[in-house]
């Protein structure tokens, strides 16, 4: 039987329950903070902050970093919160993964070599980070927040995120593997 | 009588309090967002890549139910004047070319910017090492190339910050209601065919 506690301890909810929860969260985010849920600019900001640290403030002069501004803001804290929230949910439900370098689906096609997976994730990350800034949004900013506002830019983006992703995933698993 | 300097000091103090409040709400919303992403199962490589391989429709179910719920509430609040929409300006260069590049990275990495934060919290080591480092480097390369891109490909086929109702020149609800129904039908169909 479902209890209040099992809401916390279930590893996974119905995807619809989680989705409705995210939808309600988007209301609160608009109403209280006046902002849509979005994450990817924070990675650009963090990258710029790292450069700033090593160049003693030179990065701030780059036109893109002038545009997004290199300081810790609302969205920065949101992304940090996502790490914390996911960690708490994983701990409550006994799903925290320790020592997992290779996801099982990847292992089934490419084996258990951690280095191979980390290099693939690194290259994938470069392309994803570059693409997210190129498209001016990601699966949360465009995919959820933009589409729910019926933004044309976001509907076009999310369709092409998935076209690119579906084709690439099939090439990775059916041609390369 | 207060001097101008005193005024600006109080204003600065008020602004600092607001900034702090904004950061705390950001953190709180983030914790809830991360919690829900994990409970939805989408902090896992297998679930995300399963969606791209069309064998697991969890990602689409989470996203579409968030979009339906969010759309109804956000447009109701907007019609009451409680909130303002925040629409990103678009172009073919950004939202087709950029989005396709994103899709390639999405499939190879197996996480996106929001879900990789969730995957890190969930403990996945490929996410916190190669994945995170890659994303940071990718955005940095973009910042390096931005001066050249911004006057070129990012401007190709600009269409501005429009919404579907404005594009079609109709009342918001003329699009919201059919959009909600279509998404619900799509979800029912996905369930009906056994996903």
> What are the pLDDT digits (tens) for B6-55?
777 778 887 887 789 999 999 999 999 999 999 999 999 999 999 999 99
Which residue, among A6, A9, A15, would best test binding to B if mutated, counting the most B CBs under 10 Å from its CB?
A15
Q: How far apart are alpha carbons A10 and A145 in whole angstroms?
A: 27
Could you list the pLDDT tens digit for every one of the 177 residues in chain A? 467 788 889 999 999 999 999 999 999 999 999 999 999 999 999 999 999 999 988 999 999 999 999 999 999 999 999 999 999 999 999 999 999 999 999 999 999 999 999 999 999 999 999 999 999 999 999 999 999 999 999 999 999 999 999 999 999 999 998
Q: Which helix (H) or strand (E) holds B69?
A: helix B58-79
CB contact under 8 A, B164 and A166: no
Compute the nearest-CA separation of A113 from chain B (Å). Answer: 11
pLDDT of residue A5: 82
Write down the pLDDT at residue B9: 77
Tell me which of A38, A106, A148 to substitute to probe the interface with B (most B C-beta atoms closer than 10 Å). Answer: A148
pTM of the model: 0.94
Residue B44 · residue B112 · CB < 8 Å: no
Mean pLDDT to the nearest integer, B133-148: 97
pLDDT above 80 for B123: yes
pLDDT of residue B2: 56
- Do B135 and A101 count as a contact with CB atoms less than 8 A apart? no
* Residue B16: predicted pLDDT: 81
pLDDT of residue B8: 75
- Distances in Å between the Cα of A124 and the Cα atoms of A175, B108, B134 are 17, 5, 7
Q: pLDDT value at position B4? A: 67
Q: A2 to chain B, minimum CA–CA distance in Å?
A: 15
Tell whether the torsion through CA atoms of A103, A107, A112 and A118 is positive or negative.
negative
Measuring CA to CA, which residue among A83, A21, A136, A71 is closest to residue B23? A71
pLDDT of residue B24: 97
pLDDT of residue A2: 62
Torsional class of A94: left (φ above 0), alpha (ψ -120 to 50), beta (otherwise)? left
What digits encode the pLDDT tens for the residues B153-173? Answer: 999 999 999 999 999 999 999
* Any A CB within 8 A of B47 CB: no
Check if B188 contacts A (Cβ < 8 Å).
Answer: no
Determine the pLDDT at residue B1: 52
Length of chain A counted residue by residue: 177
Average pLDDT, chain B: 95
CA neighbours closer than 13 Å in the CB half-sphere of residue B109:
36
d(CA B189, CA A115): 40
Look-up: residue for tokens 């019609």? B79
- What are the sequence ranges of the domains in chain A? 1-96, 100-177
């Amino acid at each position: 039987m479902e209890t209040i506690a099992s809401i916390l301890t279930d590893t996974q909810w119905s995807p619809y329950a989680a989705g409705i929860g995210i939808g309600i969260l988007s209301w609160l985010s608009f109403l209280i903070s006046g902002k849509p849920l979005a994450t990817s600019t924070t990675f650009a900001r963090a990258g710029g902050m790292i450069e700033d640290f090593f160049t003693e403030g030179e990065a701030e002069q780059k036109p893109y970093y002038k545009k997004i501004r290199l300081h810790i803001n609302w969205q920065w804290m949101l992304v940090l919160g996502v790490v914390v929230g996911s960690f708490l949910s994983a701990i409550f439900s006994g799903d925290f993964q320790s020592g997992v370098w290779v996801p099982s689906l990847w292992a089934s096609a490419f084996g258990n070599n951690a280095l191979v997976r980390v290099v693939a994730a690194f290259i994938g990350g470069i392309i994803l980070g570059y693409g997210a800034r190129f498209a001016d949004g990601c699966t949360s900013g465009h995919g959820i927040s933009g589409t729910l506002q019926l933004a044309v830019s976001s509907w076009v983006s999310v369709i092409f995120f998935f076209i690119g992703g579906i084709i690439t995933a099939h090439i990775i698993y059916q041609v390369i593997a | 009588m207060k001097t101008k300097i005193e005024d600006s000091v109080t204003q600065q103090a008020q602004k600092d309090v607001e900034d702090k409040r904004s950061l705390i709400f950001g953190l709180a919303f983030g914790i809830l967002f991360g919690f829900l992403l994990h409970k939805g199962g989408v902090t896992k490589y297998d679930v995300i890549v399963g969606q791209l391989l069309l064998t697991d429709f969890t990602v689409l179910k989470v996203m579409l139910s968030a979009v339906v719920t969010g759309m109804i509430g956000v447009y109701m609040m907007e019609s009451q004047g409680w909130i303002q929409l925040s629409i990103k300006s678009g172009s073919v260069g950004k939202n087709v070319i950029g989005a396709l590049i994103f899709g390639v990275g999405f499939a190879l990495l197996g996480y996106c910017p929001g879900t990789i934060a969730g995957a890190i919290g969930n403990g996945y080591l490929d996410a916190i090492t190669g994945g995170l480092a890659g994303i940071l480097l990718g955005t940095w390369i973009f910042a390096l190339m931005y001066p050249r891109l911004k006057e070129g490909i990012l401007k190709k086929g600009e269409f501005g910050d429009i919404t579907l109702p404005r594009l079609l020149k109709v009342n918001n609800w003329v699009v919201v209601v059919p959009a909600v129904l279509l998404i619900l039908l799509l979800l029912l169909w996905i369930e009906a065919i056994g996903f």
